[in-house]
Structure 1
Amino acid sequence: MRVRRAPAAGWPGFVRVRRAPAPGWPGDPDTVEEARRNPESIAGHGIDDVVEHYAALIADLPVRPVVFGHSFGGMIAEKLLGQDRAAATVAIMQIRARLSMSADGYVTTPSGWPALTADPAFVPGQSHGIREFLADCEAALMGRTTFQPALTNSRWPWPDLDVFVLGSHRPESTPDHVTTDDDPVRLLEKVRAANRGGDVHLVGGPRTIATIHALGALDRLELVVLPLLFGGGTQLTPALSPETGLTFLSQRALPGGAVEIVYSCAGRRGDLPGKPAEQV
């Protein structure tokens, strides 16, 4: 759980919770039956519509509230904070994938190494924004292919994180504190049961990311685009469905010429037009 506050002189003593309303999204019917009869009522609302819906509700309150949000709702909460509509936000556990890719769209080099390893500016565990990223994480979730090399590595890659591994069997010499399971649904239940409020770093390639996304559990996709062209390698798609919905959250330039782009992964993208958008 991450708590963020708007700039202020501090908290004057303890916070007393008077009430905690949980209003629905715009067009959200009062009952499940009504939603089934009229599913169009919640269709067609974009991110800005949702934010403005909650902003209008907040405007009727006597003071700025603390806004809680889980997953995609956490992004809405952060947008309200950025507009100075909330006194603070509490964003509950998110599963976040972070990948590097070349400027021509490859997440591995032609020889199969992660794209980041080809950048002369790469320093393991330190460069390209990874330290700031990990500051919000308490766990790492990965497939066995990503995990197994760590068993013979001179440096344990995840010293401060709980580690969860998806694989058909538990590799020999796996440390006792590492949790493994061959069922992704069961493993996610273990991740959530152990969670203390921090985020989860989804480590691995496109197939692992696609597995978690297919379960509706991938909250963020963070791409580090490198100033390099590979001309070959592995791409994010089609392992991760091209129909994955992406909503832009933020971007920033990193030292060495790379650019970090962060997306929310809620929903599904619409059909691609058969001709340029301005001609539709």
Structure 2
Amino acid sequence: MRKVVLYIATSLDGYIASPDGSVEWLPTPPPGEDYGYANFLATADATLLGRATYEQVLTFGEWPYPTLTNYVFTRQPPREAGHPSVQFITEDPTHFVRELRQQPGGTIWLIGGSTLASPLLAARLVDELMLFVVPRVLGAGIPLWRHQDHAQPLHLLRNQAWPDGMMLLHYRLIEPAE
């Protein structure tokens, strides 16, 4: 079964974007540093994005994931066609991802945002969390998590700190006791 990994940056106070949805507060990595992004990306062959996250990525310029299959969850598909690697999904994300995990392939990268990540986490469809904690306090914004009905125990797989203050916390969800 394929695994779903939420790989995302968050401020120290738990926001993934400013109140207006922007991410200009994210630091530019030092020369020669990508915080392990290339290694992670090499394991993925699909992405999951909410509509707002997709629209944010479009503002960065050329579509950055042309070799991956990209699933964008939306209530209404856009009027214009996106990149050929993008498929717009209007069905329930938990049902879709449950079926996608059964198909052959590599890691499924859950890019975000929290409106998509939270129900997938609640349905236990997220296997790992790779949280990049940015040493900034935003004070307000779009939260990493939406409401969860129950606690999700995690096991720390690894952590890593960089000289610029970036911190990776890599967790695996613990399966509930039978």
Deviation at 1:150, TM superposition (A): 4.6
Task: Decide which of 260, 264, 272 is 2:168's aligned counterpart.
Answer: 260
Cα RMSD of the aligned pairs, angstroms, is 2.7
Deviation at 1:252, TM superposition (A): 0.8
Deviation at 1:119, TM superposition (A): 3.8
* Residue identity opposite 2:41 in structure 1: L
For residues 192 and 256 of structure 1, do their structure 2 counterparts lie closer, same or farther at Cα, with a shift above 3 Å needed? same
Q: Find the structure with the greater CA-based Rg.
A: 1
1:27-69, Cα deviation, whole Å (9 max, x unpaired): xxxxxxxxxxxxxxxxxxxxxxxxxxxxxxxxxxxxxxxxxxx
Query: In the alignment, is residue 100 of structure 1 matched against residue 9 of structure 2?
Result: yes
* Residue identity opposite 1:243 in structure 2: A
Distance, in Å, in 2 between the alignment partners of 1:190 and 1:215 is: 13
1:226-263, Cα deviation, whole Å (9 max, x unpaired): 12222222332344557222221110113522010011
Distance, in Å, in 2 between the alignment partners of 1:238 and 1:232 is: 14
SS in 2 for 1:188: helix
Residue number in structure 1 paired with 2:82: 174
Distance, in Å, in 2 between the alignment partners of 1:225 and 1:193 is: 31
Alignment of 1:1-280 (within 5 A): 92-114=1-23, 117-122=24-29, 127-150=34-57, 154-171=61-78, 172-183=80-91, 184-188=93-97, 191-192=100-101, 194-196=103-105, 198-240=106-148, 243-267=151-175
Deviation at 1:156, TM superposition (A): 0.7
Contact 2:67 2:85 in 1 (8 A): no
Greater CA deviation, 248-257 or 184-193?
A: 184-193
Distance, in Å, in 2 between the alignment partners of 1:250 and 1:120 is: 22
Question: TM-score, with normalisation over the residues of structure 2?
Answer: 0.79
* Residue identity opposite 1:206 in structure 2: S
Deviation at 1:201, TM superposition (A): 0.5
* Residue identity opposite 2:40 in structure 1: F
Deviation at 1:193, TM superposition (A): 5.7
Distance, in Å, in 2 between the alignment partners of 1:169 and 1:97 is: 24
Question: TM-score, with normalisation over the residues of structure 1?
Answer: 0.53
Shift >6 Å, 4+ stretches: none
Distance, in Å, in 1 between the alignment partners of 2:27 and 2:94 is: 38
SS in 2 for 1:107: strand
For residues 193 and 103 of structure 1, do their structure 2 counterparts lie closer, same or farther at Cα, with a shift above 3 Å needed? closer
For structure 2, list consecutive stretches of 5 or more residues without a partner in the other structure. none
> Quick check: which one's helix share is greater?
1
For residues 104 and 96 of structure 1, do their structure 2 counterparts lie closer, same or farther at Cα, with a shift above 3 Å needed? same
Contact 1:129 1:254 in 2 (8 A): no
Distance, in Å, in 2 between the alignment partners of 1:193 and 1:153 is: 32
* Residue identity opposite 2:104 in structure 1: N
SS in 2 for 1:180: strand
> Quick check: which one's strand share is greater?
2
* Residue identity opposite 2:63 in structure 1: W
Deviation at 1:94, TM superposition (A): 1.0
For structure 1, list consecutive stretches of 5 or more residues without a partner in the other structure. 1-91, 269-280
